Structure 1
């Protein structure tokens, strides 16, 4: 599977939006596959949950939504290497208090470089979802502008 993902990284270089999402059920090996790609391509993985949370700790809670996108951009610029950004643990982006659209942010980063990210939700009938309907963090998106890489 790592060979297929490695080829995909090269294939998406010519696309307008260079975003590929690793999608699969919990414990299917998405993060492990991303780590294999990290070792193969010698690019560090940006753990958004840990890194962004650490950066937001120094920002007053009432102002975090104003700074989250810029802090994430700085982190992405720091972790990107050779035109490639690897991202895991994006759940913090769904926090309603940050007022972010996680998929839109990933797509924005994918205009400047190839982005491979682990998606913590499901793909069903060409729709990406995060959390269940009715959950405060529920999100639902179409898959336009990205390449789904399904792991079963």
Structure 2
């Protein structure tokens, strides 16, 4: 990933309807090389959702997921780097991870470390047959391959 191109995308993001960038690692291993400045805030999605859902009944999870994330994300001037998003694919949450991220990105700038792969204009998570398998061809936002 060219860091100058990334900086340009971040600047242009302000003008997008969905302020959303997916970072996809070609090797499937993530080691973010984004220079984290005051403009960025890292969010460990697995952690905040695990903590936020601990006292909620499983059948109510879908009602709370977005609110729990929004309790962490609140500054429209920051760019939120969402890391460790694997929990979003847990079937017990009963959510569509991409639609959730798109909805949040209408208000807040998100850069998402995608823990799967990007092939043929499609985002994948897990392998076909796995309970958390997910694929999405139609989505808003931009994909940047590392």
State whether structure 2 residue 101 is matched by structure 1 residue 99. Answer: no
State whether structure 2 residue 128 is matched by structure 1 residue 133. Answer: yes
Structure 1 gap segments, 5+ residues each: none
Per-residue CA deviation, residues 7-64 of structure 1 (Å, 9 max, x unaligned), is: 21012221111110000132253xx224x2xx23443211101111111112233432
Per-residue CA deviation, residues 92-132 of structure 1 (Å, 9 max, x unaligned), is: 01000011111111111111122111011111010111111
Partner of residue 119, structure 1:
114
- Greater mean deviation of Cα atoms: 103-112 or 42-51: 42-51
State whether structure 2 residue 16 is matched by structure 1 residue 15. Answer: yes
**1:143 positional shift:** 4.8
Aligned counterparts of 2:30 and 2:42: Cα–Cα separation in 1: 18
Count of aligned pairs: 144
Please tell me the root mean square deviation across aligned C-alpha atoms, in Å. 1.8
Q: Which structure carries more helix by proportion? A: 1
Partner of residue 52, structure 2:
55
Partner of residue 84, structure 1:
79
Aligned counterparts of 2:29 and 2:130: Cα–Cα separation in 1: 22
Aligned counterparts of 1:81 and 1:16: Cα–Cα separation in 2: 13
- Greater mean deviation of Cα atoms: 131-140 or 19-28: 19-28
Partner-residue secondary structure (3-state), 1:135:
coil
Aligned counterparts of 2:42 and 2:106: Cα–Cα separation in 1: 19
**1:83 positional shift:** 4.3
